[in-house]
Structure formats: C-alpha cells, structure tokens
C-alpha cells in the first residue's frame, strides 16, 4: 500500500537533515510519497531540498519526494500560517494516495516507524505512533497511554540522546495495536498522537483544520479536527510497533523565517 507522509520546514535545515535520515532509513516500508511543504525557506533549506530526492533514493528507490510551497496569507498570524501549511500538505498528500500521515522536522523516527502504522491501517481507523515527547506531564491534561514524557534533547546530531531513545524503544516496542474503545470523546486521546495515518474519507468528512483558535485556546484546531473525526465514527488505534520522539515546536520557537517577522503570533 502506497501512502503519503507530509512534513513542513522554513529554516531548520540541520534538524530536518537529522530527522530525515531516521525517516528514510527507519521507515521499514518503501511505498511512500514524501511531501515537504516549505514556507519562506532559508537558502540553506532550499539547497537541502534541491538534493533530497537523491538522498531519499539511497534508502528507498521507490520513494518520491514532492516539494511544494505555502504562500503567506497576510490576513492571519504566524501560527495560523503554519496551520495553513499543514492543510496544504495534507491536501497534496491525499491527492497522491488514499492514506496520508504527518510528521515534523523535530521528530526522530524509530525502526519500522512507518511499517508499524501501515500494518494496522484500515479505512475506518486513525492509526497513531507511540509518542515520546519532551513536553512535561504536568503540562498535559492527564497521563495518556500513547505518550511517554521524557526529554531526549533536540533531534540534532550533537543534542539528541539516541542511547536513551533506544532503551525506551526496546522497553515499549510490541508488534500490537490497541484501540480506544470508550465512546467518550476524551478517551480517544489515549490513542491520538503523532505521527498518524488515516484514510482520505476522514479528511473529506471532517477537514480541513481551522487556521485560528476561534477564541478558544484550550481547543487547538488539530484537536478540534480529531474531535470531529471521532464524532464521525472513526476508530483510534495506537501502534506499539511505531515509536518516535517529538521535541515539540522547535522550529516555531526559534527565529522566525525572513518575511514573517511582522505577523502577529495568532
């Protein structure tokens, strides 16, 4: 089964190069299109993206890389433009394949991370990876089955704790998936993480993401989208065969790309 995987970048060339190395080498599944959405990309990012197809082919000759560009919407803020980037990428991903997933540049991908999603994919499901994150547990609503809270450092060559990631991977990896069986909306979040993979029908029914908070900072657009997907009847599945580390919002919290300095945050 061929799937689309979407990512996003503006300036984080070193982090993306490190992340992409794990994305390609550890995918365990060679039938995918890699969609990269760039926005106000730095010259260093442009140079990297110019050679990314050749790099991808060293891992999987069948992989196709697609680089598309988000055009700045001056009527919305900086973070809303980032959400619009995500809509751009997901739309493009679903134009290529029936299944689409999303990752970030600040993600380290464990062995067979993509195979561990594809193996449990089905039209009625949203399949998610076990998610190790630097976000402290006290900043979350409650402890979640699909989240392991531990700071392994920014996923770059000199800062990422690969040894500790490997220990956690060996501790949690199982070739099984579990389902959120409660019909209560909050319960599905035990199996709603990132990266995810789902069928095009959920995007057509419930997408796209809103780009703004709509005066409700407690319900971010991605959470509202997955609430709608849950209400529409999707089954949320957590795959213990797909394990990643996500440092969370590294590029967004660094220096803004040139040309976005004037935009309000939200």
pLDDT at 217 over 70: no
pLDDT at position 181 over 80: no
pLDDT band per the 50, 70, 90 thresholds, residue 54 = confident
**204 pLDDT exceeds 80?**
yes
Task: Kindly state the percentage of the chain with pLDDT values over 90.
Answer: 77
Tokens encoding 244: 């990643």
Write down the number of H helices and E strands in the chain: 9, 10
Per-residue HEC secondary structure of 238-259 comes to: EEEEEEEEECCCHHHHCCCCCC
Average pLDDT, the chain: 92
Is the model's pLDDT at 185 over the cut of 70?
no
Q: What is the CA angle 79-83-89, rounded to 5? A: 140
Give me the pLDDT at residue 182, please: 67
CA 104 – CA 154 distance, rounded (Å): 12
pTM of the model: 0.94
Check whether domain 3-253 has CATH 3.90.550.10, yes or no: yes
Tally of CB atoms within 10 A around 45: 22
Question: Is residue 218 predicted with pLDDT exceeding 70?
Answer: no
Per-residue pLDDT tens over the stretch 77-132? 999 999 999 999 999 999 999 999 999 999 999 999 999 999 999 999 999 999 99
Compute CA 253 distance to the chain's CA centroid, rounded to the nearest angstrom.
17
Share of the chain above pLDDT 70, in %: 95
pLDDT bin (cut points 50, 70, 90) of residue 60 is confident
Nearest alpha carbon to residue 60 among 16, 10, 23: 23
pLDDT higher for 145 or 94? 94
Q: Evaluate if residue 179 carries a pLDDT over 90.
A: yes
Q: What is the pLDDT of residue 253?
A: 73
pLDDT above 90: residue 248: no
pLDDT surpasses 90 at 140: no
Neighbours of 174 (CB within 10 A): 12
């Amino acid at each position: 089964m061929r799937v689309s995987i979407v990512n996003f970048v503006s300036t984080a060339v070193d982090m993306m190069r490190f992340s992409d190395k794990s994305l390609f080498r550890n995918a365990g599944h060679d039938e995918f299109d890699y969609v990269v959405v760039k926005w106000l990309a730095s010259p260093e990012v442009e140079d990297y993206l110019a050679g990314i197809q050749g790099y991808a082919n060293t891992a999987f000759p069948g992989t196709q890389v697609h680089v598309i560009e988000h055009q700045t919407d001056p009527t919305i803020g900086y973070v809303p433009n980032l959400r619009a980037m995500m809509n751009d990428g997901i739309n493009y991903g679903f134009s290529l394949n029936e299944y689409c997933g999303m990752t970030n540049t600040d993600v380290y991908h464990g062995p067979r991370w993509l195979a561990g999603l594809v193996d449990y994919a089905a039209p009625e499901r949203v399949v998610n990876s076990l998610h190790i994150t630097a976000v402290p547990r006290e900043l979350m609503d409650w402890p979640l089955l699909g989240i392991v809270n531990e700071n392994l450092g920014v996923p770059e060559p000199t800062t990422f704790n690969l040894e500790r990631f490997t220990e956690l991977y060996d501790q949690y990896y199982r070739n099984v998936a579990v389902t959120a069986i409660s019909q209560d909306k909050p319960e599905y979040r035990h199996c709603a993480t990132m990266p995810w993979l789902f069928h095009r029908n959920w995007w057509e029914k419930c997408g796209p993401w809103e780009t703004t908070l709509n005066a409700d900072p407690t319900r971010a657009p991605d959470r509202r989208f997955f609430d709608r997907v849950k209400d529409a009847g999707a089954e949320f599945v957590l795959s213990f065969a797909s394990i990643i580390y996500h440092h969370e919002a590294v590029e967004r919290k660094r220096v803004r790309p040139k040309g976005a300095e004037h935009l309000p945050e939200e």
